[in-house]
Amino acid sequence: MLKQIHSAVVQSAPVAPDVQGDALYTQRTGESVWVCSADCAPILIADPNSGLVAAIHAGWRGTAQGVLKHTVAALEARGARGADLRCAIGPAISGRVYQVAEEVAAQVTRMIPEAALALFDDPQPGRVRLDVREANRQQAVACGIPAGQVALCPVCTFEESEWLYSYRREGAGSVQYSGIGPLSDQSG
């Protein structure tokens, strides 16, 4: 795991406990990569051909900075092909309840023009609703991952108080963990 900082910094495992970033990847058998989230989107990526896997923490800041795009580029630099990647976007706060300033939405859509599909009207002037999961799904497809290979969990962390934590509901301190490890050793 990394010390998550709401960025687009991508690191290769293994890392020391104090290394910062929001995406971690590996290809080594017996090594898994993890992220924690409480409203941000946890994203897991796997390449069944190369054995590369990645775990991404994507809040609005990381999404606006292209953390998924940078992670896909790091995987491709090590032999993966976007068309072969499998992507799972886990539970996060939904567009039904995630109110952001219009400036935040503008930052996200500057990086991912297709993310306009993840914006919804809000009754408060100067505000919109943002579905971070959908914005990252759009980013994954724009990076060359086929839409049929991107799974999006429809569960909202804020609305599911019985089994998921939400930073906006509980405050700091409670998180979910998402992790993935290579299926086989492809590193030679």
Q: Check: pTM over 0.85? Answer yes or no.
A: yes
Measuring CA to CA, how many Å separate 164 from each of 38, 155, 176?
Answer: 8, 9, 7
Mean pLDDT of the chain: 89
In a domain, 80, yes or no: yes
In a domain, 97, yes or no: no
Determine the residue type at 14: P
In a domain, 68, yes or no: yes
* Of 124 and 183, more confident: 124
In a domain, 30, yes or no: yes
Domain around 63:
10-92+133-171
Task: Read off the pLDDT of residues 63-90 as tens digits, 9 standing for 90 and up.
Answer: 999 999 999 999 999 999 999 999 999 9
CATH number for position 69: 3.60.140.10
In a domain, 161, yes or no: yes
In a domain, 83, yes or no: yes
Return contacts of 66-70, CB within 8 angstroms, 24+ apart: 66/8, 66/111, 66/112, 66/139, 67/7, 67/8, 67/9, 67/10, 67/22, 67/23, 68/23, 68/43, 68/136, 68/139, 68/140, 68/143, 69/8, 69/111, 69/139, 69/142, 69/143, 70/8, 70/10, 70/23
Kindly calculate the radius of gyration of the chain based on its CA atoms and give it in whole angstroms: 16
Q: What percent of the chain has pLDDT over 90?
A: 69
What was the pLDDT predicted at 188? 42
In a domain, 127, yes or no: no
What was the pLDDT predicted at 150? 98
In a domain, 179, yes or no: no
What was the pLDDT predicted at 58? 96
Task: Read off the pLDDT of residues 113-170 as tens digits, 9 standing for 90 and up.
Answer: 888 889 999 999 999 999 999 999 999 999 999 999 999 999 998 888 777 767 766 6
| Residue 187 pLDDT greater than 60, yes or no | no
Domain count, the chain: 1
Q: What percent of the chain has pLDDT over 70?
A: 90
User: Average pLDDT in the 17-36 region?
Assistant: 91
Contact 129, 98 (CB under 8 A): yes
Contact 27, 183 (CB under 8 A): no
Contact 45, 85 (CB under 8 A): yes
